[in-house]
Amino acid sequence: MTTTVAHSEASVLPERFAVEVTVDDITHGRPCNAAKCPIALAIARWLENQRISFDSVTVTSDDVVMVINLGWRSSRWSYWHDATSLVAAFDRGDSVEPRTVVLARLP
């Protein structure tokens, strides 16, 4: 017999975490496209590595919004990020370097 324990919605994502934006994320990113921002690509990879099912990840200069598939429904999660300058530079077409981006859950 197998027992499945449902995880509470609050335990799906941590309050704070970091992702590595790689050269590959930057190369495949698209300026002014919130779903194809290098940070969004890095977060999507992180979610996949954590085996967290998601519908979308969008990044603006102010925040990150993830729609996480909880099986029985989807849930919207908002995070602050510390990479406003990276987003602005990338959207302007400036050269950006790989870096670690820290995310913190918004209330």
Q: How many CB atoms lie within 10 A of CB 54?
A: 19
For the stretch 23-38, pLDDT in tens is: 999 999 999 999 999 9
Give residue limits of the domains in the chain. Answer: 15-105
- pLDDT per 10-residue tile (average), the chain, 107 residues: 43 91 98 97 97 95 92 91 96 97 95
Distance CA 62, CA 93 (A): 18
**Which of 56, 30, 24 has the alpha carbon at shortest distance from 42?**
24
DSSP code per residue over 40-97: HHHHHHHHHHTT--EEEEEE-SSEEEEEEE-SSSEEEEEEEES-HHHHHHHHHT----
Question: pTM of the predicted model, to two decimals?
Answer: 0.88
